[in-house]
Amino acid sequence: MDPMRRRTVAIITAAIVLLALPATAGAVTDAERADAGAAYIAAQQRPNGSVPAFSPVGSTSDAVLAFVAAGGQRSAIRDALRFLRAQVRKGHVSTVGLRAKVVQAVVAAGRDARSFGGENLVRAIRSRIRDDGHIGRSAVFDHALAMLALEAAGLRPGRAVAGWLLDAQCPVGGWSYDAPYDAGADNRSCFDGSKDDFFTADTNTTAYAVMALEHGARGAYATNPFAFFRDARDATHGGWEYSPGFGTDTNSTALVIQAYASADRSTPSGGRVALRALQPDIACGGWAYSYEGDTPGPANVGATIAAVPAVLRLAFPLVPGGGSGAPRTSRGC
């Protein structure tokens, strides 16, 4: 079903969806939340198959992961892969980070990332591994994504690759988005004090690093990253902040929950409740990015993409299959 028709059907069937829902919010299961979230994402899909949020290629790849996690939405997956395949053919998927995102999506959807859009995306990532283990000249964030992509494709990134990421950890316990820790210039949060340093240790990069390292063989962390997550908890709304002072947001909360899942650790008490609270309207299905005062903001496609795997406590990389039930439709928000 094409995206426009899917959106129309979603609106027409709103009453049916509402009647099918449990009588109380407390009765809504996480599987139902994930199904509703996936339906909301599918309703935002454009005719060309993309689901743009933060970036067309990256967000569409992440949307495929959300669809696979929730189950169903097969036509949405097919259309998203069609868009991604076209972007690869056009040469628009050339960076380490974008290749890593697409590989994870393709593998999770049960396709071959070694022959996708006329390219072997797995080999393209492996070919960028340098002698010191750094994958190209990528940011720390993209290096972690590339490790997850190789792991999704059934490969062990190697000791040097994992070692580079371990060495990049800031003494505070987290990882900074752009650059590894520099003992000669940085403070404990990887901040060098200059006006050009815009990044300190953050929960998002840290969560991806933990998932990449926990999935494969690794050495010991220099500092426990879960202590960093503990300190990055928002005392007001119970979720996680990108970095101190930002307040709870869905994307950060979702990624931290996935990091705990990857290490087979229980999510701290109230963490999953905080994620659920940012999806206030199950009939809409969308998650808010954050709060406006004490009320969740409007539904946000990027936040919903992040929330769906996390509400099911599924860590990356995802394997083909999974899912929690039949496709649901969304009335829009």
Q: Got the DSSP string for 159-221? A: HHHHHHHHHT--TTS-EESSS---TTT--TTS--SSTT----EEHHHHHHHHHHHHHS-----
Return left, alpha or beta for 279; rule: phi > 0 is left, psi -120 to 50 is alpha, else beta. beta
* pLDDT attached to residue 75: 97
* pLDDT attached to residue 194: 86
Q: In the CATH scheme, what is the code of domain 3-311?
A: 1.50.10.20
Structure tokens, 196: 């050009």
Return left, alpha or beta for 315; rule: phi > 0 is left, psi -120 to 50 is alpha, else beta. beta
Is pLDDT above 70 for 18?
no
pLDDT tens-digit series, residues 157-190:
999 999 999 999 999 999 999 999 999 999 999 9
How far is 302 from 60, CA to CA, in rounded Å? 10
Looking at per-residue pLDDT, the higher value among 146 and 156 belongs to 146
How far is 286 from 293, CA to CA, in rounded Å? 19
Q: Indicate the pLDDT class of residue 320, thresholds 50, 70 and 90.
A: confident
Query: Burial of 194 by CB count in 10 Å (0-12 exposed, 13-18 middle, 19+ buried)?
Result: exposed
Given the structure tokens 């407390």, which residue do they identify?
26
* pLDDT attached to residue 252: 98
Least trusted range by pLDDT, from 21-30, 51-60, 129-138, 324-333:
324-333
List the one residue out of 178, 173, 120 whose CA is nearest residue 149: 120
Q: Indicate the pLDDT class of residue 10, thresholds 50, 70 and 90.
A: very low
List the one residue out of 54, 33, 31 whose CA is nearest residue 289: 54
Given the structure tokens 């609106």, which residue do they identify?
11
* pLDDT attached to residue 16: 32
Given the structure tokens 């505070």, which residue do they identify?
172
* pLDDT attached to residue 291: 97
Instruction: Name the pTM for this structure.
Output: 0.90
Query: Burial of 191 by CB count in 10 Å (0-12 exposed, 13-18 middle, 19+ buried)?
Result: middle
How far is 73 from 251, CA to CA, in rounded Å? 22
Helix and strand element counts for the chain (H, E) = 14, 4
* pLDDT attached to residue 331: 56
In the chain, what are the domain boundaries? 3-311
Alpha carbon of residue 156 to chain centroid? 21
Q: Indicate the pLDDT class of residue 198, thresholds 50, 70 and 90.
A: confident
* pLDDT attached to residue 293: 92
**Is 246 within 8 Å of 289 (Cβ atoms)?**
no
What mean pLDDT is reported for the chain? Answer: 89
Structure tokens, 286: 């969308």
Is pLDDT above 90 for 134?
yes
* pLDDT attached to residue 211: 97
pLDDT tens-digit series, residues 207-257:
999 999 998 767 789 999 999 999 999 999 999 999 988 899 999 999 999
Q: Indicate the pLDDT class of residue 193, thresholds 50, 70 and 90.
A: confident
